[in-house]
Amino acid sequence: MTNDQIRMNIKQRTIKAPVSISGSGLHTGEKVTLTFNPAPENHGYKFRRIDVEGMPIIDADCDNVTDTSRGTTLSQNGASVSTIEHVLAALVGLEVDNVLIDMDGPETPIMDGSSIQFVDAIRSAGFLEQEADREYYHIPYNIHYSEPDRKVEMVAMPLDDDYRFTCMVDYNSQVLGSQHASISSITEFVDDIASCRTFCFLHELEMLLKHDLIKGGDLNNAIVVVDKEVDQEELDHLAKLFNRKDISVAPQGILNNIELRHQNEPARHKLLDMIGDLALVGVPLRGHIMAARPGHAANVAFAKR
């Protein structure tokens, strides 16, 4: 573990120099370049749409969330940015406080479906400690949120000296099963969480394709869980859609024999999403977050609470 990961910051910090990363948006399929820029003290996280007249700025704030159906979308000043959770998770995990994020398109690049390439880009820019003290929001007492119809349960509990997470997912799937993931400190994010990719079920993938969504999707940037019987004709059809010679189902029920980076990678990715969405509180947190069956809508509602 590097010094950058283990340091317990008191001062705010930004990055030393601009750094860019390019790719396609998962849902729009549009090519986009995202640039992390140094920002002054007490700036927080802000997005700037440099392809829109006037280059409007969008604050990374839970009050600006306008959609959580397939990722988290922010809108302000007549512009929007979507699928922002993996980018924000990288910034939180690296304990960077102030960054201006330029985008020349409406959706962040999906990259490999995780946060690791954003982490690598940010670390390559280097970190700059600033004069202002970092202000934390210390969870003052147990804060609860639930959605009984979706069996979502969340609680934030006081913890004075760190940011801890515990996450459980259960989709009533024989393939995926019930999974848990946890980190005892935000310093564990880079090694244990950042590389965990997004996932979906095959029936969800088919629905999204049918509605002309996930135009930037690729079998390399998502784990596809096969939760039903699939014949060769359907596999051939999927291979054609994704411009691959062939597609198969691995014994563990994952499409195309993609090797999982962790046995509980889906649960770890849900934890990653939570870290990114809860960045929309606007300041770094001190507390222990426990969640069962979280999703973007619940994460944002919890952030507001």
Rounded CA separation 74/55 (Å): 15
> Helix 85-93 to helix 116-125 angle, to the nearest 10 degrees?
50
| Residue spans of alpha helices (H) in 229-295 | 232-241, 265-278
Amino acid 264: pLDDT: 93
Among residues 221, 246, 216, 250, the alpha carbon closest in space to that of 234 is found at: 246
Q: Do the beta carbons of residue 225 and residue 172 sit within 8 Å? A: no
Q: What is the pLDDT of residue 27?
A: 75
- Reduced to 3 states (helix: H, G, I; strand: E, B; else coil), residue 114 is coil
Close Cβ partners of 208 (under 8 Å, ≥ 6 residues apart)? 70, 200, 214, 217
Q: Are strands 199-201 and 223-225 parallel, antiparallel or unpaired?
A: parallel
139, 159 contact by CB (below 8 A):
yes
pLDDT attached to residue 22: 98
Tell me the per-residue pLDDT of 206-218, one tens digit each, with 9 for 90 and over: 676 666 665 555 6
Give the chain's end-to-end CA distance (angstroms, integer): 34
- How confident is the model at residue 6, as a pLDDT? 38
Residue with tokens 């959706």: 107
DSSP SS3 for 279: helix
What is the predicted pLDDT for the residue at 287? 98
* Regions of the chain short of the pLDDT cut 70: 1-9, 206, 208-220, 241-243, 251-252, 256-258
* Catalytic residue list: 296
Per-residue pLDDT tens for 245-254?
778 777 667 8
- Say which residues have a Cβ less than 8 Å from residue 47's Cβ, sequence separation at least 6: 57, 58, 60, 74, 81, 84, 101, 102, 103
Angle made by CA atoms 100, 103, 107, in degrees to the nearest 5: 120
C-alpha dihedral sign at 206, 208, 211, 217: negative
Task: Enumerate the β-bridge partners of residue 128.
Answer: 14
Q: For 175, which DSSP code?
A: T
